[in-house]
Amino acid sequence: MRTCAGGLLVRGRTLLLAKRSDERVFYPAVWDVPGGHCDGNEAPAATLVRELHEELGIAAQVFEEVAVLGEPRPTEHGDARYHMFVVRGWTGEPQLQGSEHSELRWVSLDEARSLPLAHPEYLQLFRAALA
């Protein structure tokens, strides 16, 4: 089973989403939260910090785990657990690093509703994170 961690970066009444590159094997060209796979026995919180640095060039400082989501399409992609964190404090300005994502965008909840999202439970998480 894959174990992953993702960060919902919150700034005011907006969240930072990243559009997955068209070439991605899992969920190409949809909007996702930054994050990635745990390496070996790496704890999800450590994965979050590492992935946000690798993907956005930031250092997460204030965050809490708020949910663990299952893989929405296990027959296609295998079983996975996605540890979701709300991130309210970091140093640095988020910028794309590498080619995993093609775009970053700060979005309101209404804007997120109109985007193709990587996971069907994201809107519920977004709503809770912005409450």
Q: How far is CA 32 from CA 15, 18, 41, 107, in A?
A: 11, 5, 24, 12
pTM metric for this prediction: 0.94
3-class SS of residue 41: coil
Please, are residues 28 and 20 in contact by the beta-carbon 8 Å criterion? yes
Tell me, what's the pLDDT at 24?
79
pLDDT for residue 27: 81
- pLDDT of 78: 85
CA-CA-CA-CA torsion for 116, 119, 120, 121, nearest 10 degrees?
Answer: -130
3 state DSSP class of 56: helix
CATH 3.40.50.300 for the 2-130 domain, yes or no: no
pLDDT < 70 positions in the chain: none
**Segment holding 20, helix H or strand E:** strand 14-20
Domains of the chain by residue range: 2-130
pLDDT in tens, 49-86: 999 999 999 999 999 999 999 998 888 888 999 999 99
Can you give the pLDDT at residue 26? Answer: 74
